[in-house]
């Protein structure tokens, strides 16, 4: 983030302002306590440790049964999200920005790749499924690239983020606090003013139920305080009551604020919106109840099965039986004493099996969890009896994935905001050109240079003596999914093969093909239409060139007395169905070539070759 600049003037942000900010932070934290408790509990459900938070936890040494139906549902939804990893496409709002938008479309995926965004995307989706809300932060890291600075995109834990209670949009909050625990020795090495001032942590952050014992005694809470003033976003970093950096204390940023876009650099991606809060609830909250009943019933059924499988016996008091030998099933003989060993001395304890209604109830709860989570068998590739048709299975899978598509579209809307923040950071901070390696249209490595010269506010000059002000290039983001799903890839490939077999890509049928494509709906439809139109235009150009070539050849024939025009037309004519020489045998083809006038006249042969080369160079498709 932003560093250690100091100003000689009187600081606008000092100890008093920081103490007021800490009191606001404490109020925000208190109002967020229920959410923090739910986040920690949901994480236990995700780790299959939900018996620790269930009120009906069995007592004693018995280990309760734990099933992973809830976890399996989350796995399936996370897989759907990763199959539709987003890819940005930048579109200009004005024609003059088309070239810049194209470069941004090529560069943005590289910026995300450099930030390892695929891992961030995966982590935020896990968090969204568990908690109901994931947060992604888009920052400018001035220390990256050896001080040149670069964009930083990372996941933000809701336990470390605090906002004003009662708002539904994070941008409406008066203040936003982002708190991190950092080792004291690291802070003292980075900030000299902190040496000797750090003790124990003075601000407690809610903690997850870790498997490891994490000691925070030698850590301090570093607080990033964001607030809006006069529609400008300002930023303060402080520890305890010591200000480490403040934009209002920095001459470069005190007037314009931290980011020119003026918004908090946090993007909330909500699963199911909760009114009165920028956060929501997720699938764990929905599936808690059926999962709890599944495990309780499962525990009862398994306990009954264990009791039935392990016989127990009543032994009459005073019966002289060696209990150790009796309990050891490997002993063939058991020692007894006396002669009064009767049938009533040892009696087996019979355990009645549970009625089948309880197993049916257990299965019904499993089906309820599948239904409420939208995780039906078809969505996982399984089929019920009687469904054998591949088309029917594919249709059921596609219908079963509509819930996932709806949730993924919500994440795409959040991804658009992330892309906008990235573009705004490029607009503000990319004063120096940056070089990016991209993959070109033909799979080759290409390099693009990008700076903010074309996307910064641009002067429009004077018109009729009036200053027209500045024009700010604005771009729209269209999100497409990378086709990681093999079924989607197969469907798309089969569609292209069918279109090819129908002759849609034949330039002579362009008019009919465009009508057909216009009535269809599939990915990259506009690209296919543009290709068909381009090929049709090229085909018409080739026909015109053939006519011109025939006219030139006829004029040449008139001067030389040959038949170059006829041979040229035969050699360059585009047949609608097949190559005209395709059905000729080798002898006929040789005879046709030997009868050519050009084969007997060297000057005519040279003229013909030049004409062919000219046509080929003119009509070559690069």
CA distances (Å), origin 297, targets 73, 287, 290, 497: 19, 16, 10, 53
Contact 12, 248 (CB under 8 A): yes
Mean model confidence pLDDT for the chain:
80
**Domain containing 537: what range?**
486-622
Is 577 a member of any domain? yes
Is 42 a member of any domain? no
> Does this model's pTM top 0.85?
no
Q: State the Cα–Cα distance between residues 240 and 222, nearest whole angstrom.
A: 8
528 and 583 belong to one structural domain: yes
122 and 208 belong to one structural domain: yes
Domain end call among 260, 278, 296: 278
Is 38 a member of any domain? no
Q: State the Cα–Cα distance between residues 278 and 397, nearest whole angstrom.
A: 33
- pLDDT digits 0-9 by tens, 385-423: 555 555 565 666 665 677 888 889 999 999 999 999 999
518 and 603 belong to one structural domain: yes
Domain count for the chain, please give it.
3
84 and 140 belong to one structural domain: no
The number of residues making up the chain comes to 622
Is 155 a member of any domain? yes
Region 480-500: what's the mean pLDDT? 72
Tell the burial category of 515 from Cβ atoms under 10 Å away from its Cβ (0-12, 13-18, 19+).
exposed
103 and 124 belong to one structural domain: no
217 and 126 belong to one structural domain: yes
**CA pseudo-torsion sign 174, 180, 182, 186:** negative
490 and 442 belong to one structural domain: no
Q: State the Cα–Cα distance between residues 554 and 563, nearest whole angstrom.
A: 8
166 and 240 belong to one structural domain: yes
**What is the 3-class SS of 317-373, one letter each residue?**
CCCCECHHHHHCCCCCCCCECCCCCCCCCEEEECCCCCCHHHHHHHHHHHHHHHHHH
Query: Percent of the chain scored above 70 by pLDDT?
Result: 78
Is 429 a member of any domain? yes
592 and 610 belong to one structural domain: yes
514 and 563 belong to one structural domain: yes
Least confident stretch, 48-52, 282-286, 478-482, 581-585: 581-585
Domain end call among 248, 278, 308: 278
CA distances (Å), origin 23, targets 16, 159, 402: 11, 18, 46
Residue 348: CB partners within 8 Å, gap ≥ 6? Answer: 311, 312, 313, 314
Is 360 a member of any domain? no
Domain end call among 217, 243, 278: 278
Q: State the Cα–Cα distance between residues 581 and 589, nearest whole angstrom.
A: 7
Q: How would residue 571 be classed by pLDDT, with cut points 50, 70 and 90? A: low
Q: How would residue 577 be classed by pLDDT, with cut points 50, 70 and 90? A: very low
Is 312 a member of any domain? no
Is 356 a member of any domain? no
Least confident stretch, 272-286, 335-349, 466-480, 587-601: 587-601
- pLDDT digits 0-9 by tens, 502-551: 888 888 888 888 888 888 877 777 788 888 888 888 888 888 887 888 77
CA distances (Å), origin 256, targets 149, 171, 172, 378, 491: 19, 18, 19, 54, 51
519 and 457 belong to one structural domain: no
220 and 173 belong to one structural domain: yes
């Amino acid at each position: 983030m932003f560093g250690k600049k100091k100003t000689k003037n009187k600081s606008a942000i000092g100890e008093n302002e920081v103490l007021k900010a800490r009191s606001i932070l404490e109020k925000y934290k208190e109002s967020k306590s229920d959410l923090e408790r739910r986040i920690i509990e949901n994480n236990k459900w995700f780790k299959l440790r939900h018996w620790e938070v269930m009120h009906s936890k069995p007592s004693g040494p018995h280990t309760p049964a734990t099933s992973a139906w809830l976890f399996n549902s989350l796995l399936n939804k996370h897989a759907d999200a990763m199959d539709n990893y987003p890819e940005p496409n930048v579109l200009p709002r004005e024609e003059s920005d088309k070239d810049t938008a194209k470069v941004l479309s090529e560069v943005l995926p590289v910026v995300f790749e450099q930030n390892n965004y695929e891992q961030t995307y995966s982590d935020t989706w896990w968090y969204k499924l568990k908690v109901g809300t994931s947060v992604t932060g888009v920052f400018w890291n001035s220390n990256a690239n050896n001080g040149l600075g670069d964009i930083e995109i990372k996941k933000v834990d809701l336990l470390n983020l605090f906002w004003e209670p009662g708002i539904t949009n994070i941008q409406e909050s008066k203040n936003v606090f982002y708190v991190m625990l950092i080792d004291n020795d690291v802070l003292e090495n980075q900030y000299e003013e902190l040496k000797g001032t750090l003790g124990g942590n003075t601000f407690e952050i809610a903690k997850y139920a870790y498997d490891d014992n994490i000691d925070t005694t030698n850590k301090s809470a570093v607080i990033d305080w964001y607030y809006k003033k006069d529609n400008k976003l300002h930023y303060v970093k402080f520890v305890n009551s010591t200000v480490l950096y403040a934009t209002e204390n920095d001459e470069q940023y005190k007037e314009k604020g931290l980011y020119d876009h003026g918004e908090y650099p946090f993007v909330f991606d909500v699963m199911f919106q909760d009114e009165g809060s920028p956060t929501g609830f997720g699938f764990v909250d929905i599936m808690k109840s059926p999962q709890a009943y599944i495990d309780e019933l499962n525990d009862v059924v398994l306990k009954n099965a264990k009791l039935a499988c392990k016989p127990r016996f009543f032994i009459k008091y005073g019966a002289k039986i060696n209990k150790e030998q009796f309990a050891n099933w490997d002993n063939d003989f058991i020692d007894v004493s006396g002669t009064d060993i009767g049938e009533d001395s040892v009696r087996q304890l019979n355990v009645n099996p549970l009625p089948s209604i309880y197993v049916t109830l257990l299965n019904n709860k499993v089906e309820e969890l599948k239904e409420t989570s939208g995780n039906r068998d078809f969505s996982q590739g399984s089929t019920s009896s009687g469904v054998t048709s591949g088309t029917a299975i594919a249709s059921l899978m596609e219908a079963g994935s509509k819930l996932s598509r709806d949730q993924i579209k919500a994440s795409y809307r959040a991804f658009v905001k992330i892309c906008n923040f990235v573009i705004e950071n490029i607009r503000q901070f990319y004063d120096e050109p940056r070089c990016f390696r991209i993959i070109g249209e033909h799979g080759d490595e290409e390099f693009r240079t990008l700076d903010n010269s074309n996307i910064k506010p641009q002067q429009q000059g004077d018109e009729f003596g009036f200053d027209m002000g500045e024009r700010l290039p604005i771009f729209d983001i269209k999100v497409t999914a990378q086709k990681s799903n093999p079924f989607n890839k197969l469907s798309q490939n089969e569609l292209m093969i069918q279109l090819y077999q129908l002759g849609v890509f034949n330039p002579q049928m362009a008019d009919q093909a465009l009508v057909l494509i216009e009535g269809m709906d599939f990915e990259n439809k506009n690209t296919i239409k543009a290709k068909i139109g381009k090929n049709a235009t090229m085909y018409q150009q080739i026909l015109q060139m053939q006519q011109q070539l025939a006219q030139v050849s006829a004029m040449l024939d008139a001067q030389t007395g040959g038949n170059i025009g006829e041979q040229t037309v035969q050699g360059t004519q585009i047949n609608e169905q097949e190559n005209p020489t395709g059905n000729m045998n080798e002898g006929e083809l040789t005879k046709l070539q030997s009868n050519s006038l050009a084969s007997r006249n060297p000057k005519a042969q040279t003229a013909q070759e030049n004409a062919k080369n000219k046509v080929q160079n003119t009509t070559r498709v690069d």
